[in-house]
Amino acid sequence: MGKNIVEKILESHLVYGDLKPGNLIGVRVDEVYTQDATGTMTWLEFEAIGLDRIKVPLAVSYVDHNMLQSNFMNADDHLFLRTAAAKFGAYFSRPGNGICHQVNLERFAAPGMIALGTDSHTPTGGGMGMISIGVGGLDAASVMAGMPFEFTMPKIVKIYLTGKLRRPHVTAMDVILSLLKMLTVKGGVGKIFEYGGPGVKDLSLTERATITNMGAELGATTSIFPSDENTLKFLKAQGRQHQWIELEADEDATYSEIIEIDLSNIEPMIAQPHSPDNVVSVKELKGMKIDQVCIGSCTNSSYKIMKTVASILRGKTVHPDVTLFVNPGSKQVYEMLAKDGSIEDIISSGARVLESACGPCIGMGGAPGSGQKSLRSYNRNFKGRSGTKDAFVYLASPVVCALAAIEGKIVDPFDGSIKIDLIDEPETFLINDNMIIPPQKDREIKIIKGPNIKEVPIKEPLETKITAEVLLKLGDNITTDDILPAGSQVLPYRSNIPMISTFTFKNIDETFYERAINAKNKGGGIIIGGENYGQGSSREHAAMAPMFLGIKAVIAKSFARIHRANLINFGILPLIFVNPDDYDKIQQGDILEIVDLIDSIKSDQVYRVRVVQRDIYFDVISNLNSKEKELIVQGGLLPYVRKKVIG
Ligand code: MIC
Ligand code: SF4
C-alpha cells in the first residue's frame, strides 16, 4: 500500500509503535531547538536530568523573545543560555540573529528530518518537507537526554491544492487565514495536515512555511509540504543543496480526509479580534480606520515578502494617524534588505524598524494605545497579548498591512491605487553565520546563572485522594496566554517559577493567585475549562505555575495537545467530562472530591467526582496512555526521565 509523506518520515525514524492513528509511537529525533523564553527552563531541566552532553545529533538554542533588557534579567538569561549551550553541546544563535523558526528554516532545517522545538510555531519547518513539532520544555529536555519522542499518532489529512495565487495581491497568509475560517482553532486537533496536489508547485518554500507556521493556530500537531524542486531551489540559495532529498506521497497513499483548495479562488483575508479563526474577507472591512500596523514575525518574514512590503512603502509616508513597526524575522533577511536598499525605503516611509526578534508579537514593546486597532502580519490576536488589554488586534498579510499603514485604513489590495511589485525568491541568500556559535569542545565551561534563575520545581508523587476547591470556571478555547500571560512584565520571570506564578490567570481574575495560595494549604485547587483548553503557546510555565500553586487537576470538555502534555509532565491531572453537560453543575468555590485516584488511573476506570457542598456526583475520565499514567503517578516527567537515564 502506498504511503503518504508523514508515514515515510515517521517510518524511517520509528523506534516503537504502529503508525495507526490513535496508537502510541516513539520516534528518533534529528534536531531539538529552543528559544530563550521557554529555553531557560528546558536547559535547567536538562541539567536537572543529570547528563553532561546532549544525545541528539543537533540542538540549537535561540534567543529571540526576551530582548528588551529593561534590567539585568534578560541579559542574565542570555548568558546562562550561551554557557549552557557551550557546556551541553548545542549551537547558540546569538540575540540579534533572529526568530528561531525563521533562522532554523534558513540554516538548519532539511527535508526528511524530525525536529522538535520548544515553541508552538515549530511547524514552520513543515514548509521544508520535514516533521517539525512544538513541544513543552521537559519533552524537549528528555529527548535531548536520549529518550525517543513519544506521541499519539495523529490522523493525516490531505490538503489538495490546485490553481495559482493571484500574486502579488494575494499571499500565503491568505491561504492559511482561509483555512482557519473553514476549520477553526480546533479543526486540527489530533491531526497532521499534509499538503499536496498540483497547486503545491505554485508555492515557494517560504510561502509554504507561512502556511505551516500558522497551522499551529488550527491546533494541528504539525503541517507538512512535499520536498520538490522549490525546496531544492531554496536549499541551493542557502548553499545547502547537499541536504536536499525528494519527498512526495505515493500515488495510492491514503488519508483520513481530503480537503480541496483552489488557490486561484483565495481572496485577501483578515482575522478579527480576538481569535485567529474569526476570519472575514478584507473587502468586508474596507475603510476601517487603523491606529497601528506591525509587519514581520515568524509567520511573515521572508526576504520576498519584506521586499514586497518595501515596494509598497517606497516613496510614500506612513499615514499620520498610524504607527508602523517592522521586525524582520532574521539577520539574513535584514542584512539583505539593507544591502538592496529596501530598508531605506522602509525607514524613509516613517516606519519604526525594530531588531530581528519577536517584539510586539508577544507584547515586548510596541503595545497599542487604549482601545486602539492594530493590524499585524503575525499569527495570534488573543485579547491582551499585544500588551494592551482593551486593544483590538487584526491579522492579515504583509501586503494588506503595508497598504493600511499608508492609507490609515483597511484597503482591498485589488482596488487600491498603490503599485505592488511582484518579487521573486532570490537565487542566492546572503550567508553569514557569524552570529551562530557552534558547540564547544571544552567541557570545563561553567554555566553562569544570574540571581533570577531559580531551580525547576518538582511535584510530589500523586495522592490517592483529592479534595480541592474549584478556583476558576472558564469557557471554551482558553489560551496559555490566558493562563500565564506573556509581555514585558511577565516574560523576564520565565526562569523563576515562584515569581512568575504570581501572574497566573492575572488577566482573567486578579484575585486568583491569593485564592490559590489559600487553597494550597487546604488541599489545593481545581480549574474547570470548556473545549480546547490550553490552546496556543507551548509555554510549560502555564502548567508549572499552576502546579506550584497547588492545582491538582483541570477538568475540561477537551484539551489542546501541547498543554495537555505539559500538565501531565508536571503531574497535574487533565480530566474530561464524560457528559459535557455536567460542566453546568459546577460553580466556582465548589469543593470537589475524587477518591481512589491511583486505582482509577491504573485500571482506566471512570472517576466519580463528588461536589461536597451539594452532595451531587458526576463522572470524568483521564484518557491517559500507559506512559502518561506512570508520569502522573510519579509526579511528572522529570523524576521519570532521571530514573530512566541516570538510574
Ligand atoms: C507565542 O507565540 O505565543 C510564543 C511566545 O512564541 C510561545 C512560546 C512562549 O510562550 O515562550 C509559543 O508559541 O509557544
Ligand atoms: Fe515569536 Fe510571535 Fe513567532 Fe511566537 S509567534 S515565535 S512570539 S514571532
Ligand closest to the CA atom of residue 41:
1
- Rounded to two decimals, the pTM is 0.98
Atom of ligand 1 nearest to the CA of 121: 13
pLDDT at 443: 72
Give the DSSP H/E element, type plus range, for residue 257.
strand 257-262
Last residue of a domain, one of 212, 231, 265: 265
pLDDT at 441: 82
Q: Could you tell me if residue 449 is inside a domain?
A: no
Nearest-CA residue for atom 7 of ligand 1? 537
**By three-state DSSP, how is residue 5 classified?**
helix
Q: Does 363 share its domain with 347?
A: yes
Catalytic residues: 64-65, 119, 380, 537, 539
Distance CA 366, CA 327 (A): 11
Cis peptide before 242 (omega within 30 of 0): no
Atom of ligand 1 nearest to the CA of 37: 11
CB 309 within 8 A of CB 402: yes
Q: Could you tell me if residue 443 is inside a domain?
A: no
Q: Residue 330: what residue type?
A: S
Ligand closest to the CA atom of residue 538:
1
Question: Cα–chain-centroid distance for residue 19?
Answer: 25
Distance CA 361, CA 382 (A): 11
Q: Could you tell me if residue 200 is inside a domain?
A: yes
Nearest-CA residue for atom 3 of ligand 2? 298
CB 33 within 8 A of CB 62: yes
pLDDT at 604: 84
Q: Does 500 share its domain with 536?
A: yes
Which residues are within 8 A (CB) of 104 and not within 5 positions of it... i.e. 6 or more apart?
33, 60, 62, 115, 117, 124, 125
Mutate to test the pocket of ligand 1, among 38, 103, 377, 566 (most ligand atoms within 8 A of CB): 38
Distance CA 618, CA 607 (A): 8
Question: Is the Cβ atom of 494 under 6 angstroms away from ligand 1?
Answer: no
Q: Give the distance (Å) from ligand 2 centre to CA of residue 260.
A: 29
Let me know if 400 is exposed, middle or buried by CB neighbors in 10 A (0-12, 13-18, 19+). Answer: buried
Q: Does 248 share its domain with 277?
A: no
Atom of ligand 1 nearest to the CA of 118: 14
Atom of ligand 2 nearest to the CA of 299: 3
From residue 638, alpha-carbon distances to 29, 46, 232, 438, 593 in Å are 19, 9, 40, 28, 27
**CATH code at position 19:** 3.30.499.10
**Block means of pLDDT (10 residues each) for the chain, length 647 residues?**
97 97 97 98 97 97 97 98 97 98 98 98 99 98 98 97 98 98 97 98 98 98 98 98 98 98 98 98 98 98 98 98 98 98 98 98 98 98 97 98 98 92 97 96 89 94 95 98 97 98 97 98 97 98 98 98 98 97 98 94 92 97 93 93 88
Quick one: DSSP state of residue 460? Answer: P
Nearest CA-CA partner of 465 in 630, 609, 350: 609
Mutate to test the pocket of ligand 2, among 300, 361, 481 (most ligand atoms within 8 A of CB): 361
pLDDT at 440: 86
Task: For residue 61, list its beta bridge partners.
Answer: 34, 92
Pairing type for strands 573-577 and 551-556 reads parallel
Q: Give the distance (Å) from ligand 2 centre to CA of residue 539.
A: 12
Q: Could you tell me if residue 458 is inside a domain?
A: no
Domain that holds residue 337: 269-407
Q: Where does 352-511 show beta strands of DSSP type E? A: 352-353, 373-376, 392-396, 436-437, 466-473
Q: Give the distance (Å) from ligand 2 centre to CA of residue 9.
A: 27
Q: Does 147 share its domain with 223?
A: yes
Nearest-CA residue for atom 6 of ligand 1? 119
Distance CA 191, CA 255 (A): 11
Atom of ligand 2 nearest to the CA of 119: 6
Q: Give the distance (Å) from ligand 2 centre to CA of residue 552.
A: 30
The neighbour count for residue 212, using CB atoms within 10 Å, is 29
Q: Structurally, how many domains does the chain consist of?
A: 3
Q: Could you tell me if residue 455 is inside a domain?
A: no
Q: Could you tell me if residue 395 is inside a domain?
A: yes
Q: Does 214 share its domain with 274?
A: no
Last residue of a domain, one of 203, 238, 265: 265
C-alpha cell recorded at residue 533: 483548553
